[in-house]
Amino acid sequence: MTVKERYEAAREMYKAAGVDTDAALEALAKIPVSMHCWQGDDVIGFDGAGALSGGIQATGNYPGRARTPEELMMDMDKALSLIPGRHRINLHASYAVFEDGEWVDRDKLEPKHFAKWVQFAKERGLGIDFNPTLFSHPKAENATLSSEDPEIRKFWIDHVKACLKISQYFAEELGTHCAMNIWIPDGFKDIPADRTAPRARLKDSLDQILSIDYDKDKVFVAVESKVFGIGFESFTVGSHEFYMNYAAKNDILCLLDSGHYHPTEMVSDKISSMLLFFDKMALHVTRPVRWDSDHVVLLDDETKEIAKEIIRGGADRVLLALDFFDASINRISAWVVGMRNMQKALLNALLLPNEQLAKLQEERNFTKQMMIQEELKTYPMGDVWDYFCEINGVPVKEAWYDEVMKYEKEVLAERK
């Protein structure tokens, strides 16, 4: 059977279950996922930062890490060529591309330092999302936006202000919004004596940053909380409550990272609440494993549940990005697996009779609701997915792996 024949058979099966597969594919094609550049080089960047800091870690030393902007762009191109649909890319400020021996510190960054990325995105029809980088820097050794040292704090405030301008530049150049997400590592290893003062300083820093003039229709500022970091086990300044309240009061967005909560606390359950109070929200989809939060996204239950909530809440209201960094496997494969899994999870959600299921819940017919939810799990979603890959001109099933291995041999192996 051809891919198309398999799809046609699946279409009939889904139709009988009240699901329109053509509509699902059309909807899936319209959902962009922001692919994070930092999987390609173990979050190192190009501004000479050296070791990764801030309580996050990329472990492993699989050969072939991208070391230059050219290499990273090439690798991202390879990954994107194996992922169906049109997407976005997500950059960190530490990925500025300096030319002719120029170098400026992070508080002095300007749009021109990202011109190469704009060119890259323009040529491929991609949008760009952005992140100030408040780690892996000598001035981030202790604290950043919550620092007790006024000079350090000013440096980081200036950095984020510079990033706001760069974000607006991306939006204007590319004709699509730019989501600018702020995450800081600030916190304490052990029980703090004063939780309020650092949080008050973070609040004031954010106020100062947002006081500059920027176009709110183009730049969507988000704040990302985290329950702990390595070396910040007891306290983080930017906790969930802190940012949720800050975002609500100041009309910016919350970004929920699926690896940043207690192990039994699920981001999938938070989305509906956020969307009742905010017009939009942002996500970092990742996979938490014990204390670590940044494993490659799999097609697991929580990713599927997150996708269902995105579809039910309105995909245009959720700014969807991935966030993981695995240095122990082929990095392009990590991107492709993570991106394709996110899309498969979205497709899975689109192939549910969501209205019917909601109605059964309203009728308290939990017996039938459970029956349908479980029976649909063995419907031929893979045939629909394969067809989606085929019509989008990317390899079907595991055929993409051979291309990654070929690239590894021909390109990555040369990077000594």
CB of 56 to Zn ion, least distance (A): 9
Residues 6 or more apart whose CB falls under 8 angstroms from that of 273 comprise none
Is 43 near ligand RNT (CB under 6 A)? yes
- Choosing from 323, 326, 383, 408, which is the catalytic residue? 323
Q: Residue type at 166?
A: I
72-78's contacts with Cβ under 8 Å and 24+ in sequence apart are 72/37, 72/40, 72/41, 73/116, 73/120, 74/411, 75/40, 75/331, 75/332, 76/35, 76/37, 76/40, 76/335, 77/124, 78/332, 78/403, 78/404, 78/407
Q: Does 294 bind Zn ion (CB under 5 A)?
A: no
Q: Given 161, 284, 304, 308, which residue is catalytic?
A: 284
Q: Which one of Zn ion, ligand RNT, none is in contact with 43 (Cβ closer than 5 to 8 A by kind)?
A: ligand RNT
Task: Give catalytic status of residue 292 as yes or no.
Answer: yes
**Stretch near Zn ion under the rule CB under 5 A, chosen from 83-91, 275-283, 317-325, 357-365:** 317-325
Tokens of 341: 């899994």
Does 287 contact ligand RNT by CB under 6 A?
A: no
Please, which of residues 234-293 interact with Zn ion by CB under 5 A?
A: 257, 284
Helix (H) / strand (E) containing 224 = strand 219-224
- Angle, helices 21-29 vs 331-350, to 10°: value is 140
232 belongs to the binding site for ligand RNT (CB under 6 A): no
Instruction: Quote the least distance from Cβ 190 to ligand RNT, whole Å.
Output: 20
Instruction: Give catalytic status of residue 42 as yes or no.
Output: no
In the bound state with ligand RNT, the residue whose beta carbon lies nearer, of 32 and 185, is 185
Look-up: residue for tokens 């699920």? 266
131 binds ligand RNT (CB under 6 A): yes
Question: How far does Cα 79 stand from its chain's mean position?
Answer: 15
For position 75 contacting Zn ion by CB under 5 A, the verdict is no
CA atoms within 13 A of residue 167's CA, in its CB half-sphere:
29
**284 belongs to the binding site for ligand RNT (CB under 6 A):** yes
Residues numbered 188-207 forming contacts with Zn ion, rule: CB under 5 A = none
257 in active site? yes
> What is the rounded CA–CA span in Å between residue 209 and residue 213?
9
By beta-carbon proximity to ligand RNT, the closer residue of 10 and 179 is: 179
- Burial of residue 184, with CB atoms counted within 10 A of its CB: 0-12 exposed, 13-18 middle, 19 or more buried: buried
| Beta carbon nearer to ligand RNT, 11 or 36 | 36
- The yes-or-no answer on residue 226 being catalytic is yes
Residue 236 binding partner per list ligand RNT, Zn ion, none, with a CB distance cut-off of 5 to 8 Å that depends on partner kind: none
Relative to beta strand 88-92, strand 34-36 is parallel
By the criterion CB under 5 A, which residues form the site for Zn ion? 257, 284, 323
Question: What amino acid positions are annotated as catalytic residues?
Answer: 183, 224, 226, 257, 260, 284, 292, 294, 323
Interface residues with ligand RNT (CB under 6 A) are 38, 43, 56, 131, 183, 224, 226, 257, 284, 293, 323
